[in-house]
A and B are shown apart, each in its own frame.
Chain A
Amino acid sequence: MSSCVVDLPEDIIVKILCRLPVKSLIRFTCVSKRWRSLIISDPKFGKSHFQFASQQRTLRRKVLLTSYPAVIEPGSTPNACYDGSWKKWAEDKFITLFQSLDDKFSVKNFTFPSEEIEDLEEMGSCNGLVLVGRPCRDHYKSLFIWNPSTGFFRKIPHPSFRMKSGRYFLNYGFGHVSASDDYKLVSVVPDPSDMLEVHIFSLSANIWKVITAPYSSFPCWVNRHGTFSNGAIHWVTPCGNKTLDPVIYAFILAEEEFRRVPLPPVLWQNEEDRNPTKITTLVHLGGYLCIWSRKCFDTQGGEVWAMTEYGVPESWVKLFQFNIHDFCNVFDVEQSPWDLCLITEGDTMVLRLNKELLWIECRNEEKPVCSGRYRLEKVQPKVSNLAFYFRATVYDETLVSVAEC
């Protein structure tokens, strides 16, 4: 019996471990130092495991919840102004809480591996790596790459090029370059001249670089967080701008170039329409590039389209259309602000309310059905009447990490 097992070659052990789910593997990190190092700190193993799981379609997805207390309008709430509590608020720090939500709606709190945890937001996720930062504030000062499943964590260095003043993270995105197995963070900023700058950070090279492009290649300064799909980051032109083509602007990560992706022609058919169309790109968990189209001056709902064959304009398919009033038995549609977060593989939409997430299935011919609901638990209100910043996105459970360089 002794000669039978223990001496299986390392590559066979790796083959076996590749077939196990991340949850099991994390538990197996306690078996031995060798296993721990393989499972958590071996980028090659992480990549093999991810590729196998993607192929076998056994990757597990979880929702990443980000929340922190935020004041909507200072002074607008009765308690929070010009008294002791206001001063207290001004001195308090708003710590971000990251949580994961699985498909059984059970929640787990994360301990973020850094002490710089104020006002952090999720800025994109790809292959299990999450980009975290402060898009509303800092000039690339607090940017981190984090794998919530393994704890892998890296702070992105501050760039060495001279930063011009102005707002950063007007348009940004995070994605994977399959040819070089690299991850890139991209931030597009306008330049006072007729050009624009693209700041690109490559994770495997661990360096920043800047390229310039003519302003016309990207006249789109509204949809901040771009959607990563098919090797490129996508943003859409702002609504109602008739001088611009109805296209999606894409930044191809491998070639580092801008390109245009056509929108479904039918959305632009009625040019005399005085109620312009607003379009946002969305995450579709099936891997399609997806858009949400609605009228600017009308908060009814809209239509969701998916590009079933990337780059082929005829392949745009309308997944469904919805009217928010169909859900008045689910939530207070008049009072609650709402937003469409993402579309699942089964074409279910996930709506984000002030403190809740709703899963809504829309079938074209039938009434939409609310198939799931999660209410965010109360999170550390320092001052009463504060609203929460709350966002939801999705990440894959993987062992992906990036080697030190």
Chain B
Amino acid sequence: MSRVFKLKSSDNETFEVEEAAALLSETIKSSSSTEITVPNVKAEILGKVVEWCNKHAESEDTKDQLIKEWDAEFVSVDQHVLFKLITAADYLQIKELVDQLTQRVGDMIKAKTLKTVEMTYPTFNVEREVQEELKSLGF
């Protein structure tokens, strides 16, 4: 009988997670208790992280095309949701989720700055353009 973990969000909502899904998180793995509070992460975000863990726990082959498509959809979210997810996944130390999310941010930066990179500008314009773009991405 596998254990059930309880994850509590910063706005006091609790999510029940099966052992297989929960142990994808290094933080949970090394915790002595089965009840973990995740500070600074609201229910909306924690729920999504739990969803990712559940999906990855039940799929046996992570190289499966279907799960890759599911993952791609999962990370195609609004910027600020993306950054909140990164914070949560980082706290919970779910390496693969962090990798996927940071890859997504990298791709977004590449997509946005590609056109500027191909053109030439005098230095001061470059600086401003790049700063503007990165600002719009939330940096």
B-side contacts of A6, CB under 8 Å: 138-139
Beta-carbon contacts under 8 Å, B115-129 to A: 116-117, 123, 126-127
Interface string of B100-139 (1 = CB under 8 A from A): 0011011101100100110000010011001100100011
Q: Do A16 and B106 contact each other (CB < 8 Å), given the known contacts A28-B134, A31-B131, A31-B134? A: yes
- Do the beta carbons of B110 and A15 come within 8 Å of each other? no
Number of A interface residues in the complex (CB < 8 A): 20
**Considering only CB atoms, which chain A residue lies closest to B106 in the complex?**
A19
Q: Do A20 and B80 contact each other (CB < 8 Å), given the known contacts A5-B138, A15-B98, A30-B127? A: no
Q: Does B71 contact A (CB under 8 A)?
A: no
CB distance from A1 to the nearest CB of B (A): 6
- Do the beta carbons of A16 and B105 come within 8 Å of each other? yes
Alpha-carbon distance between A21 and B118 when the two chains are bound, in angstroms: 13
Contact of B90 among A4, A5, A9 (CB under 8 A): A9
Q: Do A31 and B139 contact each other (CB < 8 Å), given the known contacts A4-B80, A24-B113? A: yes
Contact of B130 among A11, A15, A31 (CB under 8 A): A31
B-side contacts of A4, CB under 8 Å: 80, 83-84, 138
CB distance from A150 to the nearest CB of B (A): 16
Alpha-carbon distance between A21 and B105 when the two chains are bound, in angstroms: 13
Q: Does B27 contact A (CB under 8 A)?
A: no
B-side contacts of A15, CB under 8 Å: 98-99, 102
Interface string of A8-33 (1 = CB under 8 A from B): 11011001110111011001101100
Spell out A's residues near B (CB within 8 Å): 1, 4-6, 8-9, 11-12, 15-17, 19-21, 23-24, 27-28, 30-31
Closest A-B pairs by Cβ, 8 of them: A19-B106, A5-B138, A4-B80, A15-B102, A30-B127, A5-B83, A16-B102, A16-B105
